[in-house]
Amino acid sequence: MPFHLTQPRPFFLAPLFLAAVVVPTVLAFVYFAFLASDIYVSEARFVVRSPAKVAATSLGQMLSGSGIGGASEESNAVIEYLESRSALDDANRDGLLSRAYTAGDIFLLDRFGGLLPPNQERFFDYYLDKVELEPDPTTQVLHLRVSAFGPQDSQRIAERLLERSEDLVNRLSGRARADALEVAESDAREAQERARAAAVELANYRSRTGIIDPEKEAIARLESIARLEDEMISARSQLDQLRQFTPQAPQIPYLQSQVETLNREIERRRSGVAGSRASLSSAGARYQVLQLDSELAAKQLAAAMVSLRDAQAEARGKRAYVERIAPPSLPDYPIRPRRIGGVLAVFVLGLLAWGILTVLLAGVREHREG
């Protein structure tokens, strides 16, 4: 019986190699060479800036430079906004993104809604895959890259997103200025009302009592009392001299009457200064309270006006804005997909898969034979 020696099949014709390496590589070659749509990437670079407060010291001034700093809060807001559904809805109000990503000339597997039914959830995921935002923590510059299947589409979408980001920054900045000014103006109005009310109450009190300044009035009355006491002392001295040397002098009754009149006037004026509820001391206590309230209200008004001016100056300095370092570019040629690289990647992954499966199958056969 003749013995026939069978030649082993080359590995590249083995079914496993064909299934793991050859077929995927051929499909990848067909896809990247003939089917995959060209992808254009428009890139823009911008920074969100706002005037920063300059330090009072010379060292702080040197460190702060021109006083213009990166607005980290606004930058974070822009990043969160561009990666949100609001950015997608705002940019697609006129259907710009829908037309760019669902055109009929785009390959079925590349365009949105090609195989799966379109909905807003899938469109948002598709949008996140086409929009890349990379912040630079050192320079605070934001790098925006927008991918589309036409150069004009990618540029228009990037421009639209930048415009919506500028609108967002303007809204945030305007709201911050409006809130700060509203609080300062409200405090100033309240301080004005308090100062006006205190001044009116003090004026009404002066009108009711007929006293402009109780303290000055009391000083004037005490001076008049002192003059009357001097006159009374002089009259008493004359009266004592006449009683001692000329008891029958006709001036004695007149001097006695003058002394009594002066004494009554002094007592009356003293009671007007202190001692009764209508005295200047009682009026002075109430006047001092009203005057203190008026002075305090005036100081509060002055402080509120200073705060209002500071708030106005700070509001002018809080104007954040988007400064474009590089506007959205118009791509000259598609940089994606990387066709040769894609085919090579599929080929390498196929080889790895084929090698792993070969080792596994060899182990299984050895286990069965053993």
DSSP 143-204: EEEEEESSHHHHHHHHHHHHHHHHHHHHHHHHHHHHHHHHHHHHHHHHHHHHHHHHHHHHHH
- Supply the pLDDT for residue 329: 94
- Supply the pLDDT for residue 11: 54
What number is the average pLDDT over the span 327-341? 88
- Residue 44: other Cβ atoms inside 10 A: 20
The proportion of the chain whose per-residue pLDDT surpasses 70, expressed as a percent, equals 77
Query: Is residue 282 over pLDDT 60?
Result: no
Alpha helices (H) along 210-250 = 214-245
Greatest Cα pair distance in the chain: 192
Tens of pLDDT, residue by residue over 300-328, are: 888 888 887 877 776 665 567 788 999 99
Query: Is residue 23 over pLDDT 50?
Result: yes
Nearest alpha carbon to residue 147 among 368, 336, 345: 336
| Band (238; pLDDT cuts 50, 70, 90) | confident
Tens of pLDDT, residue by residue over 169-188, are: 888 877 777 777 788 888 88
DSSP, collapsed to helix, strand or coil, labels residue 336 as strand
Please tell me the distance from the alpha carbon of residue 97 to that of residue 101, in angstroms, as a whole number: 6
Calculate the average pLDDT of the chain. 78
What number is the average pLDDT over the span 213-239? 70
Classify residue 237 by burial, with Cβ atoms within 10 Å: 0-12, 13-18, 19+. exposed
Please tell me the distance from the alpha carbon of residue 271 to that of residue 279, in angstroms, as a whole number: 7
